Amino acid sequence: MQLTLNGRAALITGGSKGLGLAVAKAYAGAGGHVAIVARGAEALARAEAEVRAAAAPGGKVAAIAADIATAEGCARAFAEAERALGQVDILVNNAGTSQRGPFLEISDALWQADLDLKLFAAIRLSRLALPGMQARRWGRIINVLNIGAKAPLAASAPTSVSRAAGMALTKVLANEAAPHNVLVNALLVGIVESDQWVRRYAQEQRAISWEEWKAEQGRAVPLGRIGKAEEFAAMALLLASEQCGYVTGTAINVDGGRCPVV
């Protein structure tokens, strides 16, 4: 089965690195038009070049610098994506970092920042994207969460709480948008090789190589290894494609079997 997007236009947040960049390259290679959004201009420029190199002939690629943790940033990012691509058929709410710690040590400011970036950005961008998708009777929204949304651990707040709210948002939007042929799903990440894990490796300052560290992390995964960003992107491509037109309201674990909840 060959997955194609046939000129569908996608807006991907957190698109300059890691999972977002992998999804952008997969979409561009499958014939989609792609707008990536992130805050860092330098990383965006590098990512734009990678996505253009992966794009099918005729594919449009746009890089948009915006802070989607704010209402103004969401509005600007969406408006620029529409100007560059003509419309937004696919929205991938991927932006976010892993903020977690003991509950009593988490300040109101950190709670609010986490909710603004992970939950309110998805709310605001979905609110902007849905009218056009509904009018055209075709759309896809994919919320990138993590397995903590289903199985939160101790000291996993605020991320696990924000992600659990994102899973509830996914189901609400799926039920409301289904009559308009707009599909809304979530992908729950386990340990997948990305910029986030590279940063964690650097912060630990261990006297082992990156490959040794990855192997160590993979021991906690039933498959015995951490995932690849390209494997995650393949699932995101399937959900965005015509071939996956009867799947909505789901929260799919992309975790090598690590989550104890199906």
Query: At 259, phi and psi to the nearest 5?
Result: -70, 135
Instruction: State how far the Cα of 169 lies from the Cα of 119, in Å rounded to an integer.
Output: 9
Domains and CATH numbers, the chain: 9-192+228-251 (3.40.50.720), 195-226 (no CATH)
Q: Helices (H), strands (E): how many in the chain?
A: 9, 9
Query: At 179, phi and psi to the nearest 5?
Result: -60, -15
pLDDT score for 174? 98
Sign of the C-alpha dihedral, residues 193, 199, 204, 208?
Answer: positive
pLDDT score for 202? 85
Which DSSP state fits 229?
H
Q: Which residues of the chain have pLDDT under 70?
A: none
pLDDT score for 198? 81
- Give the percent of the chain with pLDDT over 90: 91
pLDDT score for 105? 97
- Residue pair 75/82 in contact by the 8 Å Cβ criterion: no
pLDDT tens, 183-240? 999 999 999 988 778 888 888 888 899 899 999 999 999 999 999 999 999 999 999 9
- Residue pair 110/153 in contact by the 8 Å Cβ criterion: no
Global pTM value: 0.96
Q: Which of helix, strand or coil describes residue 34?
A: strand
Place of tokens 């000129």: 7
How many angstroms separate the Cα of 201 from the Cα of each of 40, 107, 114, 229, 254? 21, 25, 22, 17, 21
